[in-house]
Amino acid sequence: MLSMSQPGSRRLSQGLRYMVAATFCFSVMSLMVKTAGQHIHSFELVFARSVVLIILCIIALRARGISPWGTNRRGVLGFIALNCFYFAILRLPLADATVLQFLNPTFTTVIAAIFISESLGMRHMGLVILSLFGVVLVAQPTVLFGEMSAGLDPLAVGAGVVSALLSAAAWVLIRKLARTEEPLVIVFWFALVSTIGSSPVMITDLVVPYAREWPLLIGIGVATFFGQLWLTKGMRLEPAGRVAATGYLQIVFATLWGVLFFSEIPGPLSVAGALLIVGSTFFLARAPAERPGVPAA
């Protein structure tokens, strides 16, 4: 059977099918987080999501006879990034919070240049600057755009940017782990660290969910489980450029959910900023390395 990886094929490869399914799951997760977050704070949402993830991972791992403990245990970066992302989702329009996550490849490029000595050429730097300018257009701070601007919550915008920064670091770790570690084990450890990390704040500021919110809390965990699993499998099968390109669908989904469920209509400046961020990400994913032997971020 032909796949996209073969000449003349019109079918999606297995890896890209995983990535499309993961992107849809994450968009549904964001929709449920924003809906439940009107009453429940972000740490409690993270805790509920993580508990459901742990249960599903243990069931799946036991069915396959695999130990959940694995050989590598990482998840702190993902936990902090997740809290920042949920905070941004609750305080920003859904599409804007999702767009800010697309700074991830930009930060990956800079982090690689600083910590593992990958060359950062003028082309890369120009794309980084363009993407950051896109953030300014999305946020529209009143100090630059006046009182007529959208004036998004600067703390929430900052949380979204920090989430993208930490996700970039976690992305590198996942890419490395996925080559040797069972994907479910990676998801299990991410959920375990998130459960432990969110427990203190959740316990001291517990909000009892309404009856209609319990399905949302469970749904957040279920959507995340399949999203994380398919994302990890897709990243193991596909190069970074295709992974990044597939992720753009999440902005489409987020915009659609925002319009349908929250009456969030993006303004022209927000659309322009989103295009700058997405365009910069697109070309960063395909920019050649500045020196031989170093892969593009």
Residue 203 is assigned to a structural domain of this protein: yes
For the ranges 56-65, 82-91, 122-131, 279-288, which has the lowest average pLDDT? 279-288
Residue 130 is assigned to a structural domain of this protein: yes
CA dist 26 and 17 (Å) reads 14
**pLDDT of 289:** 46
Residue 23 sits in which domain range? Answer: 18-62+72-286
CA dist 130 and 164 (Å) reads 16
Half-sphere exposure of 247 (CA within 13 A, CB side): 24
Residue 2 is assigned to a structural domain of this protein: no
Residue 6 is assigned to a structural domain of this protein: no
Residue 3 is assigned to a structural domain of this protein: no
pLDDT at 9 over 60: no
Residue 22 is assigned to a structural domain of this protein: yes
pLDDT digits (tens, 9 = 90+) for 151-175: 677 888 888 888 888 877 776 666 6
| Mean pLDDT, rounded, of the chain | 76
| CB neighbours of residue 137 within 10 Å | 21
Instruction: Give me the mean pLDDT over the 182-187 stretch.
Output: 76
**pLDDT of 192:** 86
CA dist 254 and 273 (Å) reads 15
Residue 234 is assigned to a structural domain of this protein: yes
Nearest-CA neighbor of 164 among 99, 245, 248?
A: 99
Taking the alpha carbons at both ends of the chain, their separation in whole angstroms is: 31
Residue 228 is assigned to a structural domain of this protein: yes
CA dist 82 and 128 (Å) reads 23
* Beta carbons of 280 and 127 less than 8 angstroms apart: yes
**pLDDT of 8:** 44
pLDDT digits (tens, 9 = 90+) for 248-283: 677 778 888 888 888 887 778 778 877 877 777 677
Q: Which residues contact 170 (CB under 8 A, 6 or more apart)?
A: 74, 77, 78, 81
Structural domains of the chain, count: 1
Q: Which residues contact 196 (CB under 8 A, 6 or more apart)?
A: none
pTM: 0.71
Which pLDDT band holds residue 290 (cuts at 50, 70, 90)?
very low
**pLDDT of 215:** 94
**pLDDT of 216:** 94
